[in-house]
Amino acid sequence: MNDETGISVITVVRNGALHLEETITSVVEKKLSSNIEYLVIDGGSTDGSLDIIKKYADQLSYWVSEPDSGIYDAMNKGWRAASDGNFILFLGSGDRLVSLPDNIGCYGRNDVLYGDVLMGEKKVFTARADCHLKLYNSLHHQALLVSKACHPAAPFNTFYRLYADFDFNQRLMKRGVRFIYLPQFVTYAYPGGMSDQQNIFESLTIIRNNYGLFWMLLAVGGKIAMNIFPLLKRFRPFREV
């Protein structure tokens, strides 16, 4: 990569007017000091989200409002529209960009950069890019920068309703991309979004498809143990701030 490498921030929204402006302003403020293009993919909102998008249209590199087939279909649209040489970051309505890494141009096409995600006001999600990613989605998309050059085609399998990003993260790890933790990269995830929803069967299907039966059974055992032994809750991927 080079010094001209930028960041494509993509916000996917449908009827998220209540918190959308917070997200947009958090990104617009960072555009003053970082090479950012901002894209908003609206799923045909009817709650006033479109008015907010139009308010900031001159700050956006691209926006569209049209029906889609779900969040991952919309995320794929944003991926296709993003500039080819950029790193891509997804923020939903209510999520906020807190701080970005410097010198992003020094990282390569097979690098994935990750940071910390504030979950509410008092917890930080502890991201991991090791064997934990074989067991659960140990990386949150709100603090994950993936080079589009690493995967030019739209990456999300829309068969999955909740964990297509988990599937993509596992496939990246299987390919041997380099995951790099950058402590200066911090975002905020709005509580109550898709990150809080669970579908254990979909998650286990993804693990089996990507890493086989052994890792799927290991994930099942870990979830059972976590429920049986309360002391194991201390190993959940959160820390207090």
211-227 pLDDT, tens digit per residue, is 999 999 999 988 887 67
pLDDT category, 1, cuts 50, 70, 90? very low
Q: What is the per-residue pLDDT for 237?
A: 59
95 within a domain of the structure (yes/no) = yes
Across 194-200, average pLDDT: 69
Instruction: Confirm whether 2 is domain-assigned.
Output: no
Interval 40-88: pLDDT, tens: 999 999 999 999 999 999 999 999 999 999 999 999 999 999 999 999 9
Question: What value does the mean pLDDT of the chain take?
Answer: 90
When pLDDT is cut at 50, 70 and 90, the band that residue 239 belongs to is: low
Q: Is residue 228 part of a domain?
A: yes
Residue 141: its pLDDT value, please? Answer: 94
Query: What is the spatial distance between Cα 178 and Cα 110, in angstroms, rounded to a whole number?
Result: 6
- Residue 24 forms part of a structural domain: yes
- CB contact at 8 A, 112 and 179: yes
CATH code, domain with 24 = 3.90.550.10
Model-level pTM?
A: 0.91
Those residues whose C-beta lies under 8 Å from the C-beta of residue 131, and which sit 6 or more positions away, are none
Which SS3 state, helix, strand or coil, does residue 228 take? Answer: helix
Percent of the chain scoring above 90 in pLDDT: 77
- Total domains in the fold of the chain: 1
Residue 40 lies in a domain: yes
Q: Which residues contact 17 (CB under 8 A, 6 or more apart)?
A: 45, 47, 48, 49, 51, 52, 93
**7-13 and 36-42 strand pairing:** parallel
Q: How many CB atoms lie within 10 A of CB 8?
A: 24
The upper half-sphere exposure of residue 18, i.e. CA atoms within 13 Å in the direction of its Cβ, equals 3
pLDDT of residue 241: 46
pLDDT of 195 above 60: no
Query: What sign for the dihedral angle of Cα 7, 13, 16, 21?
Result: positive
Confidence category of residue 238, pLDDT binned at 50, 70, 90: low
Give the model confidence (pLDDT) of 121-169 as tens digits.
778 988 999 999 999 999 999 999 999 999 999 999 999 999 999 999 9
On whether residue 144 sits in a domain, the answer given is yes
**Cα(225)–Cα(167) distance, integer angstroms:** 24
Domain that holds residue 160: 7-240
| pLDDT of res. 174 | 96
Is residue 1 situated within a structural domain?
A: no
